[in-house]
Amino acid sequence: MDIENIFDLEPYKLEKNAKQTLLTKCLNKLTQHHVKNCDYYNNMLLAFALNNSQFSRIEEFPFLPVRLFKDYELKSVPNNEIIKTLTSSGTTSQKVSKIFIDKTTSGYQIKALANIIKTFLGKKRLPMLIVDTPNVIKDRTLFSARGAGILGLANFGRDHTYLLDDNMKLDVIQMELFMEKYKDEPIFIFGFTYIIWKYLYSYLKKHNIKIDLSNAVLIHSGGWKKIAEQSVSKKDFNKCLFTLTKLERIYNFYGMVEQVGSIFMDCEYDHFHTPVFSDIIMRDPLTWGVLPFKQEGIIEVLSILPHSYPGHILLTEDLGIVLGEDDCPCGRMGKYFNVSGRIPKAELRGCSDTYAYDVINI
Amino acid sequence: MKYNVLAPRGLNNKTLLNSPIFLPFDKNVIDFINTLSENILSNKDFREFPEMIALAFWIRRTNIEKQKKIFEKNRGNRLLFPRGIVFHIAPSNVDTIFVYSWLLSMLVGNINVVRLSSNISPQTNLLIGVVNSILNEVKFEKIKEQVLLVQYSHDDQITREFSSNCDVRVIWGGDQTICKIRAIPLNPHSTEIIFSDKFSLAMIDANRFLNYPHKDDLIQNFYNDSFLFMQMACSSPRLVVWVGNNREINSAKEIFWKLLDEKVKKDHPEFYASNAIDKLVSTYALSIEQQIKVELSETNYINRIFIDNPKVLNIELHCGAGLFYEIHVKKLESIIPLITKKYQTISVFGINENKIKSFLVNNIPNGIDRIVPIGKALEFSHIWDGYDLFHEYTREVTIQI
């Protein structure tokens, strides 16, 4: 099967052997494409004598730490084919990842995302509320992770309405007008987890506002670090939102700017799911070996979408646990997993984090 | 000026300016330093910090007496006085090596101001506690006027004030830090000592190693040099230079790394997942910068990178935590092009003093400050980074009548 045909597949219907075969084939092709078209990538694989290898399982492919995208501009297409650059800032340094997107990759991302999202929202475009400020998508060639997420998801909505103004203040009147207009049909709400918490939920709570969003589906993403600092769990988040808004259908997803499109959606049982376009492996930090299900390791993410940059097999800085494959009670096929958080920083910092006055010595 | 006084409680810069200075190796100072040693050794909290135990041993009375003898021998009949006030800017990481240079400065009679950054390591915190409790003893009343430990975050104004009042400024830190601080003027009569980031290597004669009967001891020594601080000490070897022909080197390497691997698996040095990622990032980054061959390793305690006949070596990307660059040479001279001012220690095995000496004298390398046997890389000496600290911390008065 060719990559184009994969988009005709249902995202959560392929059983593990068929998926393994399909992904291995696609990833081998992609790896060779990047070896041929990205000198840096070729050098990296050459160092491990893997630049001419064919791999027989997804676990055998070499993975790149995501941090490399902060230090190097990694791309596998000529500059004139790049239509946009996605950026993400890390939590540990001021450096940003730069992800170069061409038309092909962008197309794949849109198709993959559409395939995944429609199984949650249905095929029709729904009236859409965006819990953010329109400021984040002003520059159409350079996107932050937030901008990229909003623009990606905006494809599944219509009558896009941004709920926050330039100062991140909730526009309650706008929200009520929107809800009045669409009170009899399903609507779609998207936002980043901490922004929803801080600027929507906290605002409603502070001003004692209740609003009926029971006809809405909320999809949110963006990590729990900032929220977990306030001791708010995923359960608390859902419960709190329900209390003020009657929102019941809330889906979180795990995704990253380095692999836009092939996101991991949360199911009704609180498990992230791998769609047919992507997979996940937990690595043992001590050996880089593959950990069995139910053991916590460093999350490696694989995606068949990245064509314009060698980001198809990445080692994240997150920890997680694969819970099983093809047997989640929700009925979706593919591996399902939980994310436990960022890997703890070593006490003795490596050379990657040097600041003036804070430099490792001796 | 806003800074915290960490020790002694209730003193400020002004009182130090009027403090008397001592002659080198004054009995009061020796007593103080010895008490510090005893208190560290008897305090259970220090046990988990091997570097603090090593420090305590270095400053115990017998070694201080030894240092005194060295000092006196060098001095001869000359007249040496302390310079006055020494302002130490400590590195802002877990490193405690600055403590040695501060205590040496005390020993020769100086008044010392030590600036610590806002993130103080647990071991430094323990040390501050002990220093405070000793300074509160009546018998150390005079010493109390000799020491000031302060803490402030990046504030050039405070650094300027201390800099204009000191006779010697000692800066520990990375290049950026040092440049920033050096832009702050010193008093015209003052001098400055710089301890910057350094890179160190081990050099092993393959043939000697193959014939060496006590390989386990050597491995233990190399392990201590490398893994005690997870290669974060400047003098820990990050590059291993194998000397010999390829056949010898290959057999030596195989045995060496196998033994070290066993040692590491048995001793389980500190290991963090982030270290493994850092090393992978370093490895990939280096592969972009120069041609390398990654040697497969069973665990991420030890990761190795072979670099064939390098003309230059990128040492900036090295992140420590058990990452070893390796090169093969037939003659010592082959490493000369790689050596920059950043190179500090060569810990050697199987290469004798004469050979090393002629290698140095014939080539005059750009860097290299010390040659020690493997196992002594972390051992402090009053001569460090090319400075004789006894000399730097004193001034000589000549009498020619």
- For residue range B345-378, list pLDDT tens digits in order: 999 999 999 999 999 999 999 999 999 999 999 9
Residues B234, A361: C-beta atoms closer than 8 Å: yes
Q: How far is CA B90 from CA A126, A285, B194, B233, in A?
A: 60, 33, 11, 14
**With 80 as the cut, is the pLDDT of residue A223 above it?**
no
Q: Determine which of A15-19, A225-229, A327-331 has the lowest per-residue pLDDT on average.
A: A225-229
Report yes or no: A288 at the B interface, CB cutoff 8 Å.
yes
Q: Determine which of A220-224, A286-290, B38-42, B214-218 has the lowest per-residue pLDDT on average.
A: A220-224
**Partner-chain residue, chosen from B94, B175, B273, that has the shortest CB–CB distance to A298:** B273
- How many pairs of residues across A and B have Cβ atoms under 8 Å apart? 160
Q: B355 is written with which tokens?
A: 């050979």
Report yes or no: A173 at the B interface, CB cutoff 8 Å.
no
Q: Which residue of B has its CA nearest to A47?
A: B293
Residues A43, B288: C-beta atoms closer than 8 Å: yes
Q: Does the CA dihedral A120-A126-A132-A137 come out positive or negative?
A: positive
Residues A72, B117: C-beta atoms closer than 8 Å: no
Residues A360, B233: C-beta atoms closer than 8 Å: no
Secondary structure of A56-103 as H, E, C letters: CCHHHCCCEECCHHHHCCCCCCCHHHEEEEEEEECCCCCCEEEEEEEH
Which residues partner with A339 through β-bridges?
Answer: A320
Residues B291, A64: C-beta atoms closer than 8 Å: no
Per-window interface: A 298-337 vs B, CB < 8 A: 298, 315, 317, 319
Q: Where are the alpha helices (DSSP H) in B86-237?
A: 98-107, 122-135, 141-144, 156-165, 175-182, 206-211, 215-227
- For residue A355, list chain B residues with Cβ-Cβ distance below 8 A: 176
Residues B281, A65: C-beta atoms closer than 8 Å: yes
Q: Determine which of A4-8, A333-337, B311-315 has the lowest per-residue pLDDT on average.
A: A4-8
Q: B274 is written with which tokens?
A: 């982030």
Residues B284, A361: C-beta atoms closer than 8 Å: no
Q: Which domains does chain B have, with CATH numbers?
A: 4-197+385-397 (3.40.605.10), 199-373 (3.40.309.10)
Q: Residue B169: exposed, middle, or buried by beta-carbon count in 10 A (0-12, 13-18, 19+)?
A: buried
Average pLDDT, chain A: 89
Residues A356, B117: C-beta atoms closer than 8 Å: no
Residues A346, B278: C-beta atoms closer than 8 Å: yes
Q: B74 is written with which tokens?
A: 């060098």
Residue entry with tokens 């006590």: B214
3-state SS assignment for residue A30: helix
**Partner-chain residue, chosen from B119, B177, B233, that has the shortest CB–CB distance to A362:** B233
pLDDT in tens, A45-79: 999 999 999 999 999 999 999 999 999 999 999 99
Report yes or no: A351 at the B interface, CB cutoff 8 Å.
yes
pLDDT in tens, B294-306: 999 999 999 999 9
pLDDT in tens, A186-215: 999 999 998 999 999 999 999 999 999 999
Q: B312 is written with which tokens?
A: 């230059």
Q: A29 is written with which tokens?
A: 């092709």
Measured torsion, CA atoms of residues A284, A285, A287, A290, in degrees rounded to the nearest 10: 20
Q: Which amino acid is at B243?
A: V
pLDDT in tens, B231-275: 988 999 999 999 999 999 999 999 999 999 999 999 988 899 999
**Partner-chain residue, chosen from A68, A354, A356, that has the shortest CB–CB distance to B180:** A356
Query: What's the complex ipTM?
Result: 0.91
Give the integer Cα–Cα distance in Å for B160 and B186. Answer: 8
- For residue A67, list chain B residues with Cβ-Cβ distance below 8 A: 277, 281
**With 80 as the cut, is the pLDDT of residue B12 above it?**
no
Residues A362, B95: C-beta atoms closer than 8 Å: yes
Judge whether B275 and A351 are in contact, CB under 8 Å: no
DSSP secondary structure code for residue A358 in this structure:
B
Q: How far is CA B45 from the centre of its chain?
A: 23
Judge whether A244 and A201 are in contact, CB under 8 Å: yes
Q: Does the CA dihedral A212-A214-A216-A222 come out positive or negative?
A: positive
Q: How many CB atoms lie within 10 A of CB A262?
A: 26
Mean pLDDT for the stretch of residues B274-299:
96
